Amino acid sequence: MKSAVIVFPGSNCDRDLAVCLRDVTGTAPQMIWHRETELPHDLDLIGIPGGFSYGDYLRSGACAARSPVMQAVVKAAARGVKVLGICNGFQVLTEAGLLPGALMRNAGINFVCRPVKLRVENNQNAFTARYAAGEEVRISVAHHDGNYSADEATLDRLEGEGRVVFRYAEAVNGSARDIAGIINNAGNVLGLMPHPERAAHLGQGADDGRRVFESLLGA
């Protein structure tokens, strides 16, 4: 599987994601600087990592979404290339218009950093095929702006189309309907706040996140 990880000023999980992809797929991803205007044409996966792109100035992910490379990411997604946005990457995907809604300040205005319990709501996609529907897993979060918000019509549409992929199984950040991760209508763009790359082998304390990457490899 050929993959790339986009690197913005302030990314701090790019190496974590790259190491995880290398370990699971056997091939190191290409690291793409945000100023690039083109991506390799043979990519299977584009990863947008967590961190604090541009220091979270303006809004989390807003500046990164307007980086030159994101135009290439949007075009690749339209061609069917899989895109995985984790934490700040999820924020970037909403700001770029690749996913609906927005990530707001956590309820309680607290930074949340701990393992949390998630429920797999949809396993009929390339990102979660190795999970069982309804399965509960534990993956860490680390965010200050992870409160997923959207209008009721959008939330109803996401629910009705089965596009809620992960849901918090405990109180975490105030997200509407406990949404932790959603997918686009075409099924090739996933954004999620928890960090599966930080739960990819038992040496990290848990390996529940590894199956995200195994699912992608199998796809």
Catalytic residues: 87, 195, 197
The dihedral over CA atoms of 56, 62, 67, 70, expressed in degrees to the nearest 10, equals 120
> Residue 152: what residue type?
E
Strands 30-33, 3-7: pairing kind: parallel
What lies within 8 Å, CB to CB, of 112 at 6+ separation is 106, 141, 142, 143, 144, 146, 172, 173
> Residue 61: what residue type?
G
